[in-house]
Structures are given as structure tokens and as C-alpha cells.
């Protein structure tokens, strides 16, 4: 595949990687519409523009993405730098567009927030998640965690439920040791390339760093909790998952997740818009969307006070 293309868009956090002197990276994994490229301790994702923007993504047109992924395999060399990405073995180069990068950290401070309204949205979304007809991963645990209802007993739920409770409790109390212990029990847990426990942790960490100044009682920042989650999880899970957790701990999240969080600023009557945004989150992956939503809702609840 000989081609020189301009990307559709790219995410702000990967800008420094592309602007430095050229360095050698390696293709980590190849999927239909995604190619992951490992460089040092991070990972850059070449995505089809059919997929939502991710904090580490450069997106290509769907046709270019399909042709590219069909010609690559893991372990191939990639040169990254000088505002471009080159794959010498395929005579392929990708250049950044002249447009500003996409910002994966939603601008929470641009909105007016009401604790009462967010609490009502959280309750609505908890019921919505609980009512999903086909459930796997950790989503069924929304019932015992936020709705006071029982959940099916499985080996996964028996391991995850106490850890999620501990995470929420320790976060509210700003108990870093408790957060670390809970993270150790969740990181890398469950099905998926980004295991369910990691997706829940990512949603949780992002809320802690984005919302604690606005919504936690006493407006205490809980950035340290998000950083602890990313640090403890890193050696315990897949490389891809660890990278996404690191982004989440800086408030950098996927496009559809950011849209949902901003919808929580809408009045309580705008439930349809909130549910519609949540539906898009749930459509992501087999369980990734619902697991991330579970972690997000748990974190928002934890900012209200002790879950006990």
C-alpha cells in the first residue's frame, strides 16, 4: 500500500509524540478499524473515523483505515515524528491536518453544575443501566451498589462487588491506601481486551479528576485518587488498558463518554437527551460501555458522601 494521507483529526495528548524528532515505534495489534502502535510506555491508536475519538487516537477515513489495517501486522516498524507517521515497509505516510487537535478532556468548568440535578440524572441512569435486557461484565452490580437491589451471584460479581464498594468508600474518605487496595482487586479483572474492572476504574477515575471540584461535598479535589488508580493498575493489566487508564486519570476520555458527562449539566427534565447519550456509551464494545458507565455512576455517587 503506497500512500500519503492527511488524517481526519487527532487528539491533543498525542500531539507532542508527533511533533518530536522521528522515533521508532512498533505496531502492537491490528483490528478491522483500529491499529495500535506502541511507543515507550504509551500507545497511539489509528482509528477509522466511524469510531468515536479516543484520547490517544489519530483518525483516518474509513476506506483508508480498512486498506491500511488489511496490509499491516503486529511487530512492524513505524516512524513517528515531524508531524507525521510513516510505515516504511508499506511506503505509507500519514500527516496531521492543519486543524486544531481534538480535546479529550471535557470542559466541565464551562457549565453550571447543580448537585441535586446530577443526583437525579445519576439515579435515572442507574435504573437505565439496571434495566438493560442483555447484561454481562460488571453492569448488573449497579443494582446492589446504587439501587439497594440484589444482583446475580457469579464468581465475577463476588470478587468485584466488595472491591467496588471499597473503592467508593475509600474515595469519599480520601483514603489512598484503600483506593490502592480496591484498585489492586479490580485492575485486569473480567472479560475483554480492556477488562471490565479497568473500564469501571477508568470511568471512576475520570469523574474523580473532572468533577470533584464541582460536585464533591466541600469541593475537595480528588486528583490524587485518579492518579493512584492509574499507578496501581498499570502493572496489573494489559498495556492498552493501562494507557487508557492513564488518560482517564487526567480526565481524558472517549468522545461519547465526554458528551454524556456534559449532558449531566442539563436540567432534570432533559432526561431524554441524557438517556440518548447513555445509549451511545453502551453501544461501545461488548461490555466496555456499560462497565465504564457503572464506574462513572459509582464515582458520582461517591462524591455525594459515604455509600454506606
Q: What is the DSSP track for 121-166? A: HHHHHHHHHHT-SS--TTGGGHIIIIIS------HHHHHHHHHHHH
Q: Does 98 bind another protein (CB under 8 A)?
A: no
CB of 12 vs another protein, minimal distance in Å: 25
How far is Cα of residue 119 from the mean position of the Cα atoms in its chain?
22
CB of 188 vs another protein, minimal distance in Å: 3
Q: Does 237 bind another protein (CB under 8 A)?
A: yes
Find the radius of gyration of the CA atoms of the chain: 19
Nearer to another protein, 183 or 212 (CB): 183
Q: Does 308 bind another protein (CB under 8 A)?
A: no
Pick from 105, 123, 185, 231: which binds another protein (CB under 8 A)?
Answer: 185
Name beta bridge partners: 170: none
Nearer to another protein, 120 or 169 (CB): 120
Q: What is the DSSP track for 174-187? A: T-HHHHHHHHHHHT
Nearer to another protein, 121 or 250 (CB): 121
CB of 218 vs another protein, minimal distance in Å: 32
C-alpha distances in Å from residue 22, one per residue of 16, 48, 71, 88:
11, 24, 22, 13
The conformational region for residue 82 under phi > 0 = left, psi -120 to 50 = alpha, else beta, is: left
Name beta bridge partners: 42: 39
d(CA 10, CA 6) in angstroms, rounded, equals 11
Pick from 288, 290, 292, 296: which binds another protein (CB under 8 A)?
Answer: 288
Q: Does 32 bind another protein (CB under 8 A)?
A: yes
d(CA 143, CA 111) in angstroms, rounded, equals 30
**x/- contact string, 63-92, with another protein (CB under 8 A)?**
---x--xx-xxxx-----------------
Set of cell numbers at residue 306:
459515604
Q: Does 39 bind another protein (CB under 8 A)?
A: no
The strands making up 23-30's β-sheet, listed across from edge to edge, are: 3-6, 92-95, 84-87, 77-81, 23-30, 34-39, 42-48, 57-60, 9-10
Q: Does 238 bind another protein (CB under 8 A)?
A: yes
Query: Per CB under 8 A, which region of 42-50, 153-161, 207-215, 220-228 contacts another protein?
Result: 153-161
Pick from 89, 191, 213, 307: which binds another protein (CB under 8 A)?
Answer: 191
Q: Does 203 bind another protein (CB under 8 A)?
A: no
**x/- contact string, 258-277, with another protein (CB under 8 A)?**
-----------x-xx--xx-
Nearer to another protein, 101 or 136 (CB): 136
Nearer to another protein, 171 or 288 (CB): 288
Q: How far separated are the first and last CA of the chain, in Å rounded?
A: 58
d(CA 279, CA 170) in angstroms, rounded, equals 30
- Residues near another protein (CB under 8 A): 28-32, 34, 36, 66, 69-70, 72-75, 124, 128, 131-134, 136, 155-156, 158-159, 185-195, 197, 236-240, 269, 271-272, 275-276, 279, 282-283, 285-288
Amino acid at each position: 500500500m503506497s500512500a500519503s494521507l492527511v488524517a481526519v483529526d487527532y487528539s491533543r495528548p498525542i500531539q507532542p509524540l508527533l511533533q518530536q524528532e522521528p522515533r521508532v515505534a512498533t505496531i502492537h495489534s491490528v483490528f478491522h478499524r483500529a491499529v495500535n502502535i506502541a511507543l515507550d510506555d504509551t500507545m497511539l491508536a489509528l482509528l477509522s473515523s466511524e469510531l468515536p475519538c479516543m484520547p490517544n487516537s489519530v483518525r483516518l477515513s474509513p476506506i483508508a483505515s480498512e486498506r491500511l489495517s488489511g496490509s499491516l501486522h503486529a511487530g512492524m516498524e513505524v516512524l513517528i515524528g515531524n508531524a507525521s507517521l510513516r510505515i516504511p515497509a508499506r511506503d505509507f505516510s500519514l500527516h496531521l491536518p492543519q486543524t486544531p487537535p481534538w480535546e479529550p478532556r471535557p470542559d466541565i468548568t464551562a457549565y453550571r453544575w447543580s448537585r441535586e440535578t446530577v443526583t437525579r440524572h445519576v439515579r435515572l441512569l442507574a435504573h437505565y443501566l439496571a434495566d438493560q435486557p442483555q447484561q454481562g461484565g460488571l453492569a448488573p452490580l449497579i443494582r446492589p451498589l446504587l439501587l439497594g437491589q440484589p444482583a446475580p451471584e457469579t464468581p465475577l460479581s463476588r470478587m468485584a462487588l466488595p472491591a467496588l464498594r471499597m473503592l467508593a468508600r475509600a474515595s469519599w474518605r480520601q483514603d489512598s491506601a484503600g483506593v490502592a487496595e480496591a484498585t489492586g482487586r479490580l485492575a485486569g479483572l473480567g472479560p475483554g481486551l480492556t477488562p471490565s474492572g479497568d473500564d469501571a476504574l477508568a470511568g471512576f477515575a475520570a469523574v474523580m479528576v473532572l468533577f470533584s471540584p464541582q460536585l464533591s461535598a466541600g469541593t475537595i479535589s480528588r486528583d490524587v485518587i485518579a492518579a493512584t488508580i492509574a499507578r496501581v493498575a498499570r502493572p496489573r493489566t494489559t498495556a492498552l488498558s493501562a494507557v487508557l487508564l492513564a488518560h482517564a486519570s487526567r480526565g481524558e476520555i472517549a468522545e461519547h463518554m465526554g458528551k454524556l458527562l456534559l449532558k449531566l449539566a442539563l436540567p432534570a427534565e432533559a432526561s431524554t437527551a441524557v438517556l440518548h447519550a447513555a445509549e451511545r456509551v453502551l453501544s461501545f464494545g461488548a461490555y466496555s460501555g456499560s462497565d465504564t458507565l457503572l464506574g462513572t455512576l459509582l464515582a458520582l455517587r461517591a462524591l455525594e458522601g459515604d455509600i454506606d
